[in-house]
Structure 1
Amino acid sequence: MRTPPQGYGSDDVKGRPPESPSPKFPVLSYLLVFLVGGAVAWGATEVFSSHSQMGSDLGTSESQERLPAVSAEAPTVTPRTEEAQIVPPSNFVADVVTRVGPAVVRIDSERRVSARSLPPGLDDPMLRQFFGFRMPDAEQERVQQGSGSGFILSSDGKIVTNAHVIDGADSVTVTLRDGRSLEGRVLGTDPVTDVAVVQIEAEDLPAVRLRDSEGLQPGEWAIAIGNPLGLDNTVTTGIISAIGRSSSEVGVADKRVDFIQTDAAINPGNSGGPLLDQDGQVVGMNTAIIQNAQGLGFAIPINTVARIAEELIENGRVDHPFLGIQMVDLSPQVKEQVNRDQSQALRVEEDEGVLIVQVMPGSPADEGGLRAGDVIRQIEGDSVTSAEEVQQAVSRVRVGDRLRIDISRNGSPETLEVQTGVLGD
């Protein structure tokens, strides 16, 4: 409750003892006392009425205007509620979310899996001992549910997400920002890059804008939108922490992706959602986290996503070129270890390059003449010093293309031509 204005304190309510009126004007004195007392009583009534009004409507300006101006101090003024304007927060993150948010979707998938279990009533330990390992069992079917994110590539309903979000799904449901839930049809998945495309039957949908991820630099703003842990339309921000993180560094060695690293919070359920720059353009697709780590999220560069999505839309699958070799980065320490291992019939003379540890029988590398113990020095004239660089060189060509590979075999240089094959065939 507001402290009553000066002049309405306890002393004023009770009233100080008035000075004795002049005995010469007794009637006039009593009349003055009566008028002053009436004014005080009227003022107190207005104050209590004003305070009561504050309790009901938080002190509107109307009640304040009725207060008599009895204090020389400036009164506390409450703004007129009808004149107050609610200004929405305005920053680049809020602007991006407003524009791009409607193009981000939630993807729910279901798949039925079979599991063998004991029939009801036969799970008693005594019965298990009696039957032993030949105890009869029954096959049961159960439903696995998964949830992730995605974003709309085109207004006709083509959506990209992670392949692992819909892997093996019997049904896919896409929920739009406006609340509509539509059945999704899988156009194709690519486990090698973890990219998938889903089609929904809708028109005039909001679509994202893509940016060339080749120009991305560490330190740029990063905005992630998705549905982590079932919390739809969640927005997190951070920066691009690094680029070109290899699949082995991220812990998914079976993927062929150079990941974008970000400290924008990414959690289960963010998979398949967009990673945006400060202008709202998609630079990557959120896909991976490292367990028990903080500030370590990873996204597939959008250039890779767009290329794979285009092939999936056109062909329903992606053919990846491969050589069929197992390799390791060569260093003086690796050289010493290999030469010291008597069980290996290898002898390495070089200190750098990429050492071929094993060649898959019948593979393009085997047919092209590569052998275990060879050290790859160059591919198409470009020097290579890591297995990742070899993989990148192979990924840049198409299936059936020939690669010129310069190697060192037992210390002698050789040049071979190897025709790439189809991974998985």
Structure 2
Amino acid sequence: MNINQLLKRSRYHSKTVAVAVWLSACSLTNANMPAWALLPAAVDGEPLPSLAPMLAETVPGVVNVSTITEIAATEHPLLRDPFFRRFFDIPGHQRNRESQSLGSGVVIDAKRGIILTNHHVVRAADAIRVTFDDGRRLEAELVGSDPETDIAVLRVESDDLTAVPLADSDALQVGDFVVAIGSPFGLAHTVTSGIVSALGRTGLGIEGYESFIQTDASINPGNSGGPLVNLRGELVGINTAILAPGGGNVGIGFAIPTNMVSIVLEQILEHGSVRRGLFGAGVQDLTPEIASALDLDLFRGAVVASLEPDSPALRAGLRPGDVITAVDGRAINSANDLRSRVGLLPPGTRIELELLRDGKTRRLKAKIDDPYADFIHGETLSSALEGALIGEAVRRTNRTKTRVVVVGPLRPGSPAWQNGLREGDLIVQANRRAIAQLDDLAAALKSAGGLYSAQVFRDGQLLLLARR
């Protein structure tokens, strides 16, 4: 036997011995261990924990929300020429195309058929349908929505609904287990679980008012509007967004807490929209530099930077430089925190502020004003403005102040809404007549017998609205 054969045989023998030793060790080790297939159904007489019983009661209250929006199809300029159309026998009507979107929702009032979802799920929808886990599909009516908080309220007609109870989201703690239910990528009633990763997330630039629950429960496109529930099956938040640098889920999702949702829900059910009060204080974050300048050993709070004339903040006794640390006993961590806390309060709400001034703690009381107190109901001017509040305001530019007619909150689907008006519009013309005050608008509507055209200033653009 040559040396190569000897080495080959030696290597084979050593491998055989090694495998035999490993198998022997495994057999000795596994002698006292149950196989995975024999995992017990109970430990110490107690069944293994499972989410199944809770989900059996919760999932029937979760819906798939689908919308259809008609969009005017773009045309070649030649197709706008009546002669060209007639010559080539092209139909004169404009073709529309349908756009579809998908999201989730949750029933929170079975008797009234009230469903919560996200505003961005149903925005500009011409038709809304909801599908339940038993296969039922119902047409839904948009009661109202609020873009600033991304909350929308739907209503369906049905006698057999299951509601998900609301929990106190202020009782949540970081580390609590939560479950997200929804239709990611159209996969209806998908369930994922995780924990509360953080509370009160602000400054993300996702919405106007932010105080998010952050969770690592997997949230993906299609989960929007669906519920985030605790282990008792109670609603703690409405899933709304994810942080996805690469386009996929990375375990950072955000939900709107139910306590914020409840404030918005109550106003939408009562008015069809959210009517926010006016406080009149401009604030900024308490940075280490500002804290040092004010000689404060504090790094959380909102610093009062400015006050509007004759505002609730000024009447309450606030001064520039005050550091607001709490509202109604709840700590304020930042300017965004204060804005979310106070900005959602309805007019007439009384609040107590805790603040630091000259190194001393003070408490002040304030009452939130109604910015639309002097507005009138649009139907008093014309049936074309029914469902909207209309009033006068002062528009300030760098050098001038001019009075303008502004549209306040309005009910979706109302005559004013159907005529193209939206909250915040400045009406500069109506029926080709210049508008500077309510009397001008009343005269223009009366002489024409309604609203047939209007020019409005919206989001920095001048738009022409024409009645079809």
Q: Give the structure-2-normalised TM-score.
A: 0.56
Alpha-carbon separation, structure 1, partners of 2:79 and 2:107 = 50
Structure-2 change in CA distance of 1:324 and 1:191 (3 Å): farther
SS at match of 2:51: helix
Alignment of 1:120-131 (within 5 A): none
Alpha-carbon separation, structure 2, partners of 1:205 and 1:98 = 14
Which deviations, in whole Å up to 9, do the C-alpha atoms of 1:53-76 show, x marking residues without a partner?
A: xxxxxxxxxxxxxxxxxxxxxxxx
Structure-2 change in CA distance of 1:306 and 1:418 (3 Å): closer
One-letter amino acid matched to 1:252:
I
Structure whose CA Rg is larger = 1
Offset, 1:150: 0.4
Structure 2 residue 60 is matched with structure 1 residue 102:
yes
Structure-2 change in CA distance of 1:140 and 1:158 (3 Å): same
Offset, 1:262: 1.0
| Residue equivalent to 1:355 | 303
Structure 2 residue 123 is matched with structure 1 residue 175:
no
Q: Which of residues 223, 246, 270 in structure 2 aligns to 1:270? A: 223
| Residue equivalent to 1:394 | 342
Matched-pair contact (CA < 8 Å) for 1:93–1:278: yes
Alpha-carbon separation, structure 1, partners of 2:273 and 2:187 = 32
SS at match of 1:309: helix
Alpha-carbon separation, structure 2, partners of 1:235 and 1:381 = 37
One-letter amino acid matched to 1:119:
P
Could you say what the CA RMSD is over the residues aligned between the two structures, in angstroms? 3.8
| Residue equivalent to 1:282 | 235
Structure-2 change in CA distance of 1:380 and 1:229 (3 Å): closer
**Greater displacement, 155-164 / 415-424:** 415-424
Offset, 1:418: 5.7
5+ long unaligned stretches in structure 2? 1-40, 42-46, 81-93, 373-407, 409-468
Structure-2 change in CA distance of 1:360 and 1:271 (3 Å): farther
| Residue equivalent to 2:379 | none
Structure-2 change in CA distance of 1:166 and 1:363 (3 Å): farther
SS at match of 1:99: helix
Which deviations, in whole Å up to 9, do the C-alpha atoms of 1:271-298 show, x marking residues without a partner?
A: 1111122222222111111122611111
Structure 2 residue 286 is matched with structure 1 residue 330:
yes
Matched-pair contact (CA < 8 Å) for 1:376–1:384: no
SS at match of 1:95: helix
Structure 2 residue 334 is matched with structure 1 residue 376:
no
Alpha-carbon separation, structure 1, partners of 2:191 and 2:328 = 45
Offset, 1:173: 0.9
Alpha-carbon separation, structure 1, partners of 2:328 and 2:259 = 25
Whose relative contact order is higher, 1 or 2, with alpha carbons under 8 Å and at least 6 apart? 1
Structure 2 residue 103 is matched with structure 1 residue 148:
yes
5+ long unaligned stretches in structure 1? 1-86, 123-138, 337-347
| Residue equivalent to 1:245 | 200
SS at match of 1:210: coil
Alignment of 1:19-168 (within 5 A): 91-114=49-72, 118-119=76-77, 141-156=96-111, 157-168=113-124
| Residue equivalent to 1:223 | 179
Alpha-carbon separation, structure 1, partners of 2:332 and 2:187 = 45
Which deviations, in whole Å up to 9, do the C-alpha atoms of 1:345-364 show, x marking residues without a partner?
A: xxx64556533445568866
Structure-2 change in CA distance of 1:296 and 1:180 (3 Å): same
Alpha-carbon separation, structure 1, partners of 2:361 and 2:235 = 45
One-letter amino acid matched to 2:201:
S
Alpha-carbon separation, structure 2, partners of 1:111 and 1:283 = 30
SS at match of 1:143: strand
One-letter amino acid matched to 2:77:
P
SS at match of 2:267: helix
